[in-house]
Amino acid sequence: MTDQPGAVDAEQAEYNAALALLHEGLHREAQAGFKALIARYEAVPGTIRPELAADAMCTLACSERDNGQVEDGLHTFMLTSLTFGYGGHEEARYVAGIADLLASKLYYEQDRPQVAHALLDNMTLRIMMESNPRFRALFDEANAQKAALERIYGFEAGVGIRMDRIDIGRDDRMFDPMKPLADGVGPNLDPVEPEQASPPPPMPVVFAAPDPAPQAVVTSAAGKTCRYEKIESKFETAPHSWELGPAALMVTRQGQSFSIRYAEMTRLTLRFAPSRFKKGRYTMQVRSRSGASAEIDNMSFVGIGNFEERSFDYALLVHALGLELSNCGSVGEVVGGVGWPYYLMMAGLSAFGLLVVLLTFLVGGPIGILIKLALVVLYVPRLVRWFKFNRPAPGSFTAFPPGTVPPLVSRDSVNGAGCR
């Protein structure tokens, strides 16, 4: 990397200029700026900081995805992972992990769940030894998505794409993980659907499937609509939004919108789901009769590892949606917490962990005892809270399972702030 401050300032300014064009919706112009930075990074090592080049490549992929250049976006996400994910600068490796997550979601949305699973499997193997705690958030997210795909489609765990066996042509960017390897060796990546009777399997919680026929949102029967917005991550150029209309929920992500009609909704799942950086996180997922689903939570991205709680507006949306479903006579169900198999598995693992700590409590000397005591004091209250609020429980559109939605002062607030 160059030691000249002027060069660093210039490359950052060039990146910022391309990013500004992207925020203005000028995708082609922004992509040209990002590609120029990437080309200089590959042509003359040391001229561009690797973390900035990784940022440029991942943001380029997001732009291609959002501009309808889906295959280009998939290729660029994969190039980001393969170029920066194996050694080098830590920040660049972190961006490569984000590119893996975004690529897996895009493959899933393109009806290629087996490829999405293989990418996530490979990602977890790659970053599991990273020492920086923020990689843990990526690891947990990838594991959650991978487990959901395994549960829905019956995929076998531990089968990753052989990244070391794939040759990439950097000039023509012809890498395509859907093609077999040159020597004919490698995983079969053709999408494999499970043999099930209709209806099709539900979508995993971590993904949202687009509806093929989006509908326009108009004001509700009361002359009002309820809208909730949040920023998902650093690489999202526009907020996610959920907006209630008279007959459908409109979901907008990165400028792309789809709708789910209230009459088509079959399940509303509400959870208290804290994570390392989102300690007060609540989630809501809706599923339709066609198998489409969408999910949103009450946390909005502010900075790396920093999220803002938008609990009141989120709770407002949840209650308003419940009233819409109740008013339209929906036959869907309301479910709180996680499924019983997952709940019982977590109970068993937690009990085993506490038993190990208790059996070895007096082993390791005074320092070891203090460490174990601190672990018990820190994590047992969190475990108790998690099990309390994630126990599977039924509810109704007007009475949600306790602890699954942030407190709202009054249900009359549904017609107040946020609903306009």
How much is the pLDDT for 362?
65
DSSP 200: P
Short-list 242, 226, 208, 239, CA closest to 302: 239
Residues of the chain with pLDDT under 70: 1-8, 156-225, 237, 331, 361-365, 389, 408-420
Please list, in sequence order, all residues whose beta carbon lies within 8 angstroms of the beta carbon of residue 60, skipping any fewer than 6 positions away. 31, 34, 35, 38, 76
Q: How far lies 333's CA from each of 94, 281, 393, in Å? A: 39, 22, 11
How much is the pLDDT for 180?
32
**Token pair of 140, please?**
């947990």
Q: How far lies 130's CA from each of 78, 85, 97, 173, 179, in Å? A: 20, 11, 11, 28, 30
Please list, in sequence order, all residues whose beta carbon lies within 8 angstroms of the beta carbon of residue 255, skipping any fewer than 6 positions away. 25, 66, 238
How much is the pLDDT for 181?
29
**Boundaries of every domain in the chain:** 5-165, 226-337+392-415, 340-389
Helix (H) or strand (E) holding 15: helix 5-23
How much is the pLDDT for 31?
92
Distance CA 136, CA 149 (A): 20
Residues across the chain: 420
Tell me if residue 317 falls in helix, strand or coil: helix
Which residues face 282 on adjacent strands?
A: 272
Which residue type occupies 185?
V
- Does the pTM exceed 0.85? no
**Cβ(64)–Cβ(158) under 8 Å?**
no
Domain 226-337+392-415 matching CATH 2.30.29: the answer reads: yes
Burial label for 269, CB within 10 Å (0-12, 13-18, 19+), is buried
Q: How far is CA 152 from the centre of its chain?
A: 17
DSSP 262: G
Please list, in sequence order, all residues whose beta carbon lies within 8 angstroms of the beta carbon of residue 199, skipping any fewer than 6 positions away. 289, 290, 291
Distance CA 152, CA 191 (A): 13
| Residue linked to tokens 């917005």 | 229
pLDDT, tens digit, 9 for 90 and up, residues 164-203: 333 333 333 333 333 332 333 333 333 334 344 344 344 3
How much is the pLDDT for 316?
87
What is the CATH class of 5-165? mainly alpha
